[in-house]
Structure 1
Amino acid sequence: MSVASVRPEEIHPSLWRASQLARGRGRVVDTGYPVLSAELPGGGWPLGGLVDLLVQQSGIGEMRLLRPALSALGSRPVSLVQPPHLPNGLGLAYIGLGLERFLYVRAQKTADALWSTEQILRSGSAGALIFWAQRVPSSSLRRLHLAAQSSETLFVMVRPALTAQDSSPAVLRLAIRPSADGLMVDILKRRGPPRAEPLPVPLQPTPVLFSRHARLPRRSPAIAVPRGVPADVGA
C-alpha cells in the first residue's frame, strides 16, 4: 500500500481530510434532525466536548433544537445553568421531558456559574449540561472543555452571536436564528470543511419552555456556592 493511498483515519481516528467531515470514533448523540445530522461529524451532537450555540437572543429555539437529543439520553439528568427564565414544567412535559430530570442552577456571579459547571462536568453526573453565558474568558472556556472531555456529557454553551468573533476551543460552533418554520443554522466551526450556506432546520411549535412566572415543584433551585475557585475561572 502506498503512502498516498492511506486514509488519515487509518493513521489515527482523530485525523481527517480538510475536504471531508471527520469520521473518527468520537461519541455522539443523534440530533433528531436528519438535515442537521448529515452536516455534523459522526452524524450527531458530540459528547465529551464543548459545543457553542450562538444566538441573537436567548429563548429563540435552542431548547427545541436540543429536545430530540435530550430525549435520546434516556433518564440521565439534564443540568440547566443560568437559563434565561425558570423552566416551565408544563411546557417541558409537552415535549416529553419531565421536570424531575432537570437540575436548575442559579448563580449570583459568573465565577459561581463557571465553578458549578466545572464540578458537574467533572462528576460525570449529567447526561447533558446547558449553560447560558455572556462573555467568558478564553481560559475558562478551555478549562470547561477539558473538564467535559473526561465525561459522556452533551455540553452546550448558549452565548451571544457577537462572540462568534472570539476564539473558542469548542469542537462545534453553530449560530442559530429564527425562521418562518424553525431555525436557520450557520455552521461556524466543525471538524471538516466550512459550509457557506445557512441550513434550515424545521422545528415543531411548542408551548413556552421558560417563563418568568413558571414554578418549580417542591424543591428550591440549587444555589451555587464556590469553593476554591481558581483565579482564571472568574469573569
Structure 2
Amino acid sequence: MLSSSPLDLASPALADVWRAGELGGVSQSVQATGYASLDTALPGGGWPQGALIELLQPQAGVHEWGLLAPALAAVQQAEPAQWLVLVGAPQVPFGPALGAQQLQMLQLLSVQGRPGDAPSLLWATREALQCADVSAVLAWLPHARSAHLRRLQIAAHAHHKLLFVFRPLRAQQESSPAPLRLRLEGTVSEMGNLQVDVFKRRGPPLAAPVLLDTRPARLAALLAASRERARQKREELSTVQAPSRLPLSSWPAIPSQSPVHALLDRIAYFHHH
C-alpha cells in the first residue's frame, strides 16, 4: 500500500535522488580537471571515474592534451605505478611537450591498430579498461557506434576507470550512452584559447561555453608579458600630443616700417608707375 505522505528529498534515504532542474552529483568519485571553472560546470565537480566521457572536436590531436593534462598528471602523481593508455592516437605523443605538462612518459602506453580496422581499436580499449595496472584510457574512435560505446561505458563502470573517447563533431547528432559529452572548439582570446561546451550532463543545459586557457604556464606568461608591453606602448603613444598651433593673434607683430617692408613698398610703387 502506497503512503500518502509527501517525499522528503532532503532525507538521507533519498540523498541520491536527482531533480532535473539541478546540477546532479555522481555516486562514483571524480578527478578534478585542473580548471576551477570547468569543475563547477561538471556534476560532482570533475571528471567522473567509472564513466564514459565523450569529447567532440573538429580535428583530432589539437585540444586533447591541453584539456586533460592537468587531471592526468594528478592521476599519475597519485598512482605512479599505473599506466596511461592511448588507443588510436592520431599523432605520436611528443615527449618533451607532455613532460613540460608534468606527464610521466615512462608510464604511457600507445596502442595503434591497423588502418581502417575500427574493431581492433574497440577491442584494445576494452582490454585496457579491464587491466588492473591501468588508471586511465584515452581512445580516438571516430567510427564507433552507440552499441560500441555502450560496451565501453559498461567496462569503464565495472572497472572504475577514467575513460575519454574522442569523436568528430558530426557525432553530436548521434545518440550516445555517455553520461557526459563535451564539444571542444579553439578560440583566440586574451582570456583563453579553448571553448568547452558541456552539451550533455546530469543537470540543466549549460548557459554558455566555458572558456579555458590550456596553454603551458611558461607560454601563457610570455603572451601575458607581450600583451602588457603592447598596452604600455599604446598608453605612451596616446599621451604624446601633437605640437600645439598658436592662433594668429598670438604671433609676434612685425613692424610695418621694417627694412623688408620698405623695400616691398618701393617695388610696388615702381611697378604701379
Sequence identity, in percent? 37
**Any gaps of 5 or more consecutive residues in structure 2?**
219-273
Q: 4+ residue stretches of structure 1 with deviation over 3 A?
A: 7-10
Distance 1:167 1:148, change over 3 A: same
User: Could you tell me whether the CA contact under 8 Å between 2:26 and 2:48 is conserved in 1?
Assistant: no
- Which residue number in structure 2 is paired with residue 113 of structure 1? 121
User: Could you tell me whether the CA contact under 8 Å between 2:57 and 2:183 is conserved in 1?
Assistant: yes
Distance 1:8 1:144, change over 3 A: farther
Given candidates 59, 82, 89, the residue that maps to 1:83 is 89
User: Could you tell me whether the CA contact under 8 Å between 2:50 and 2:156 is conserved in 1?
Assistant: yes
Q: Provide the rounded CA distance (Å) in 2 between the counterparts of 1:23 and 1:188.
A: 17
The alignment status of 1:5 with 2:5, answered yes or no, reads no
User: Could you tell me whether the CA contact under 8 Å between 1:60 and 1:177 is conserved in 2?
Assistant: no
After superposition, the C-alpha distances for 1:91-134 in whole angstroms (9 at most, x for unaligned) are 11111112111110011111111001111112243111000111
After superposition, the C-alpha distances for 1:45-87 in whole angstroms (9 at most, x for unaligned) are 0011100000010122211110111011122211000111111
User: Could you tell me whether the CA contact under 8 Å between 1:9 and 1:23 is conserved in 2?
Assistant: no
- Which residue number in structure 1 is paired with residue 169 of structure 2? 161
State the Cα RMSD in Å.
1.8
- Which residue number in structure 1 is paired with residue 104 of structure 2? 98
Higher RCO (Cα < 8 Å, 6 or more apart): 1
After superposition, the C-alpha distances for 1:6-38 in whole angstroms (9 at most, x for unaligned) are 24874262x311111112432100001000000
Output the TM-score relative to the length of structure 1: 0.82
Q: How does 1:143-222 map to 2 (within 5 A)?
A: 143-180=151-188, 181-205=192-216
- Which residue number in structure 1 is paired with residue 65 of structure 2? 63
Distance 1:139 1:152, change over 3 A: same
Q: Which has the higher strand share?
A: 1
Letter in 1 for 2:209: P
Greater mean alpha carbon deviation, residues 121-130 or residues 151-160: 121-130
Q: Provide the rounded CA distance (Å) in 2 between the counterparts of 1:116 and 1:82.
A: 9
Structure 1 residue 138, shift from structure 2 partner? 1.2
SS at the partner of 2:130?
Answer: helix
**Any gaps of 5 or more consecutive residues in structure 1?**
208-235
Point out the structure with max Rg over C-alpha: 2
